[in-house]
Amino acid sequence: MTEIEKLHKALLEADAIVVGAGAGLSTSAGFTYSGERFQRHFADFIRQYGFTDMYSAGFYPFPSEEEHWAYWSRHIYYNRYVPAPKPVYDNLLKLLKDKDYFVITTNVDHQFQKVGFDKQRLFYTQGDYGLFQCATPCHQKTYDNEEIIKKMIAQQENMRIPTELIPRCPVCGGKMTVNLRSDETFVEDEGWHTASQRYTDFLTRHKDGGSVETQNFASLLFLDLGSGSNTPIIFKIPFIKMTMQNPNAIYATVNLGEAFTVDPIADRSIVIDGDIADVLEKLRMMNDE
């Protein structure tokens, strides 16, 4: 039995599935931060500053807020408000829609909601490109930015937005920023805390129902899609630990170049070093057979 066949079997047989979605999942969906896609949308910024990718360019100290938001409005728009180039998230939903699942993700591109995942089963730990917050922050609230971002896209010229479009905090009048976890100023609003509690409740509900002696444990699949080495503490390490604690659990990881497990659960691990888009497409076709 191949690793993909093992994963297909695990998806069918699990009582519940906990999905951890990392950067590799969105990369496989076509949200690449360098190369042709970056050059197509940021050619002027590349000529001006020699930028090589969207990620590092986001840290550049632009000389004005008008230029800062010209860059960031494009960064947000093309990674949050345009459809994914490949149907990766759609295929994942087809595999999970009839299962008892929950998703925890470090991705901030909102793709789960866009394809129809149940919002009650999602926990975005690191924020959302579609939300602004006070940069200080003076209060713990976030604000939808779709309307203002689209205005910035439509009205920017020469790598600058009109001054009147610069976002200001409605409470203190100070600078706004994107709701992304980068330091202690990240705002965990009411929605964040509600989602966090739902995730905790899901894990508690599916935790072992008895002692090791009775072997009364839930059959869980911990599906790690695209986690890398940057933030393994968010779900990769917890998934491995929970698999170690539950003899009926399976840990599955799919990622190109970074798929691995640990020796204590090697016999209950499925490791697929490959493109997530290809793997999910094969799994969907197996479901359709």
241 and 107 co-located in one domain: yes
Residue 146 in contact with residue 130, Cβ under 8 Å? yes
Residue 17 in contact with residue 251, Cβ under 8 Å? no
140 CB-near residues (< 8 Å, 6+ apart): 187, 188, 189, 190
Q: pTM for this one?
A: 0.92
Retrieve residue 236's tokens.
């990769």
Whether 61 has a pLDDT exceeding 60, the answer reads yes
Inside any domain, residue 282: yes
Report pLDDT for 217. Answer: 60
Residue 195 in contact with residue 103, Cβ under 8 Å? no
Residue 53 in contact with residue 59, Cβ under 8 Å? no
End-to-end alpha-carbon separation of the chain, Å? 17
Q: Which of 270, 281, 289 is nearest to 2 (CA)?
A: 270
269 and 175 co-located in one domain: no
121 and 150 co-located in one domain: no
266 and 220 co-located in one domain: yes
Beta-bridge partner residues of 220: 16
Domains contained in the chain, number:
2
157 CB-near residues (< 8 Å, 6+ apart): none
Report pLDDT for 53. Answer: 97
User: Which parts of the chain are beta strand (E)?
Assistant: 16-21, 101-105, 122-124, 127-134, 142-144, 176-180, 220-225, 250-255, 269-273
Strand, helix or coil for residue 277? helix
Inside any domain, residue 257: yes
Q: Express each pLDDT in 98-138 by its tens digit.
A: 999 999 999 999 999 999 999 999 999 999 999 999 999 99
Average confidence (pLDDT) over 25-52: 97
193 and 247 co-located in one domain: yes
| CA–CA distance, 37 with 33 (Å, rounded to integer) | 7
42 and 96 co-located in one domain: no
Percent of the chain with pLDDT over 90: 89
User: How does DSSP assign 90-116, residue by residue?
Assistant: HHHHHHHTTS-EEEEE---S-HHHHHT
Inside any domain, residue 97: yes
Inside any domain, residue 133: no
User: How does DSSP assign 49-76, residue by residue?
Assistant: H----HHHHTT---SSHHHHHHHHHHHH
Report pLDDT for 211. Answer: 41
Q: Express each pLDDT in 158-185 by its tens digit.
A: 999 999 999 999 999 999 999 999 999 9
Inside any domain, residue 137: no
154 and 54 co-located in one domain: yes
229 and 113 co-located in one domain: yes
Whole-number mean pLDDT of the chain? Answer: 93
Beta-bridge partner residues of 271: 253
93 and 219 co-located in one domain: yes
Q: Express each pLDDT in 199-249 by its tens digit.
A: 999 999 887 543 444 445 668 999 999 997 777 889 999 999 999 999 999
CATH of the domain at 108: 3.40.50.1220
Report pLDDT for 213. Answer: 44
Retrieve residue 153's tokens.
């896209």
Last residue in a domain, options 137, 155, 180: 180
Report pLDDT for 216. Answer: 52
Inside any domain, residue 136: no
User: Which parts of 137-226 are beta strand (E)?
Assistant: 142-144, 176-180, 220-225
Structural domain boundaries, residue 280: 3-31+84-126+188-288
Last residue in a domain, options 155, 180, 205: 180
Inside any domain, residue 71: yes
153 and 21 co-located in one domain: no
154 and 267 co-located in one domain: no
φ, ψ (nearest 5 deg) of residue 254: -130, 120
Inside any domain, residue 230: yes
Q: Express each pLDDT in 246-289 by its tens digit.
A: 999 999 999 998 899 999 999 999 999 999 999 999 999 998 87
Report pLDDT for 208. Answer: 57
Whether 86 has a pLDDT exceeding 60, the answer reads yes
116 and 237 co-located in one domain: yes
